[in-house]
């Protein structure tokens, strides 16, 4: 049964773009905070026309931005992230760049390998033109696994 699960294609189980949280890299701080007040993360795309994934912002990054300087480990390079969070911040200033992606033709086994290798919880799904078309998360995989056990 697990072998069948591993062979399921991403295109058959992805969360569609209509339900995938994203914003443009030029989005302002208020748009970002509004989206993250309802979502655990947001994919960052270059613009709404091209929809190329350029980054991600998660609750974890936001917590890092909010942590007081004296509570953080010493950074060897760059500025403290708390200094980056202000009313002039854009999504591109705060995102993690170049997230790991997957394509619609990959299978669950490929997705699991990426999630475990990179210790992440979600992947953006892109089409043959590298446009964001949805996402796949650990939660989606667990639901699909549960469905397979019902059969």
Integer CA distances (angstroms), 111 to 7, 16, 18, in order: 11, 16, 21
Angle made by CA atoms 100, 59, 93, in degrees to the nearest 5: 70
Query: Which pLDDT score is estimated for 80?
Result: 46
Instruction: Using the Cα atoms of residue 99, residue 102, residue 107 and residue 108 in order, give the sign of their dihedral.
Output: positive
Reading the chain (151 residues) residue by residue, the pLDDT tens digits are: 788 889 999 999 999 999 999 999 999 988 988 998 899 999 999 999 999 999 999 988 777 766 655 555 554 444 445 556 667 788 998 889 999 999 999 999 999 999 999 999 999 999 999 999 999 999 999 998 887 766 5
Q: Can you name the residues that pair with 42 across neighbouring β-strands?
A: 57
**CB-based contacts of 31-39 (< 8 A; 24+ apart in sequence):** 31/91, 32/57, 32/89, 32/91, 32/94, 36/62
Query: Which pLDDT score is estimated for 26?
Result: 96
Mind listing the domains of the chain with CATH numbers?
Answer: 2-150 (3.10.580.10)
Rg (CA), the chain: 17
Sheet with 15-16, side-by-side order of all strands: 15-16, 132-137, 122-126, 102-103
**pTM for this prediction:** 0.84
Query: Which pLDDT score is estimated for 87?
Result: 75
Q: CB of 45 within 8 A of CB of 51? A: yes
What is the H or E stretch that residue 59 is in? helix 59-66
- Mapped to the 3 state alphabet, what secondary structure does 32-45 carry? HHHHHCCCCEEEEE
């Amino acid at each position: 049964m697990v072998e069948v699960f591993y062979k399921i294609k991403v295109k058959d189980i992805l969360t569609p773009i209509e339900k995938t949280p994203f914003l443009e890299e030029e989005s302002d701080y208020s748009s970002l905070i509004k989206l993250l007040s309802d979502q655990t993360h947001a994919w960052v795309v270059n613009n709404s026309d091209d929809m190329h994934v350029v980054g991600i912002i998660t609750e974890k990054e936001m917590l890092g931005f909010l942590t007081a300087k004296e509570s953080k480990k010493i950074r060897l390079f760059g500025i403290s992230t708390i200094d980056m969070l202000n009313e002039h911040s854009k999504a591109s200033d705060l995102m993690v760049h170049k997230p790991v992606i997957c394509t619609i033709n990959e299978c669950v086994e490929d997705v699991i390998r990426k999630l475990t290798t990179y210790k992440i919880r979600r992947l953006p799904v892109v089409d043959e033109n590298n446009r964001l078309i949805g996402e796949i998360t650990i939660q989606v995989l667990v639901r699909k696994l549960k469905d397979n056990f019902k059969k």
